[in-house]
Structure 1
């Protein structure tokens, strides 16, 4: 199986490719699409705002202490 990653825009019920594929395709050839949506900046900020949700003050202190010990991150 040959794969290529292409960007497309969904318009009027169909996908419009942003660029032409490098893989040669025949008219009517069946392909498989895997849809990955891009998150909006607002959605990313909302996720980031919930990173510490449910942590106690002691948990937050521990995380901050671990973050300050960066030399231990990669062993």
Structure 2
């Protein structure tokens, strides 16, 4: 099997390659795509904003106490 990483954009329901592949492909050839996307900074902020969602004030206090005592985090001191 030959592999090549290609950049593409998704437009109108299809992938459009930024550059043609160096591997020769015939029309109708079956290939496997593995999709990797870049996370936007906003996605990270949304996750951070919701880190305590659904936790009681007592649960939040317990999580913050554990974070402050970092040696308890992974069973070893920092």
**TM-score with structure 2 setting the length:** 0.62
Higher relative contact order (CA 8 A, sep 6+): 1
Runs of 4+ in 1 over 6 A off after TM superposition: none
Deviations 1:32-66 (A, max 9, x none): 12334433322332222111011111111111111
Distance 1:35 1:2 in 2: 17
Equivalent runs, 1:1-75 vs 2, <5 Å: 1-18=1-18, 21=21, 24-28=23-27, 29-75=29-75
The number of residues matched between the two structures is 74
**TM-score with structure 1 setting the length:** 0.64
1:18 deviates by 3.6
Unaligned stretches of 5+ in structure 1? none
